[in-house]
Chains A and B, each alone.
Chain A
Amino acid sequence: NAGVMQNPRHLVRRRGQEARLRCSPMKGHSHVYWYRQLPEEGLKFMVYLQKENIIDESGMPKERFSAEFPKEGPSILRIQQVVRGDSAAYFCASSPFGQGSSNEQFFGPGTRLTVL
């Protein structure tokens, strides 16, 4: 059973460009979480999605950031008009169940975004 997959593993963008990060959850998992880890800092929750729905986006910056998890295909975290402060490692996690259940989240290897 393949784990959570993220691509690309490394992404370099110039200021003002768009960054698209993809996350394929583990087979059978319909809940996806995105976290961001700034250099030398801890992980911070960004958004929680279930298939076709955003459940909790309380950690998402108000502008330039969006996320989706379509019925078919991977979850996408999109950052428009990137700035140097967006440089970070972005981790995706998936779980088989959502709120109200005791379950662990399985993390992918992350995408390291560097904004020049």
Chain B
Amino acid sequence: DAKTTQPTSMDCAEGRAANLPCNHSTISGNEYVYWYRQIHSQGPQYIIHGLKNNETNEMASLIITEDRKSSTLILPHATLRDTAVYYCIVNNAGNMLTFGGGTRLMVKP
């Protein structure tokens, strides 16, 4: 699976959009971009995934660049409960997930 690069930490004001970037310049054509988050010590929570088109669900939006070398996860209206570590994972669908260090998002009042 391709490697991803994410900022170590980010801050976001409550109620504002949180934009979390991820670089995956070595992604191959059949690899998906997945986003998970881990709140404190809970089990990771699936957020969203995509192949090449932008995706949106009730939790977030995923914007993938045309060359697929990077993506951005957008939480439209961050709340304090969105404070978590966010993992961007490139995966050859169905295989095990390789978790990196992720981005520690701190939502502040």
A interface residues (Cβ-Cβ under 8 A, vs B): 4, 31, 33, 35, 42-45, 48, 56, 59, 89, 91, 93, 95, 97-110, 112
Contact = CB atoms under 8 A, between A and B. Distances in A.
Interface string B24-57: 0000000010100010011111100101000000
B101 interface: yes
Contacts of A106: 46
Given A42-B102, A43-B44, A43-B99, 11 more contacts: A45-B97, A93-B97, A97-B94, A98-B94, A100-B93, A100-B94, A104-B34, A106-B46, A107-B46, A109-B43, A110-B42
16 contacts: A4-B43, A33-B97, A35-B97, A43-B38, A43-B44, A43-B97, A45-B96, A45-B97, A48-B95, A56-B96, A59-B96, A93-B43, A95-B94, A100-B93, A103-B93, A107-B46
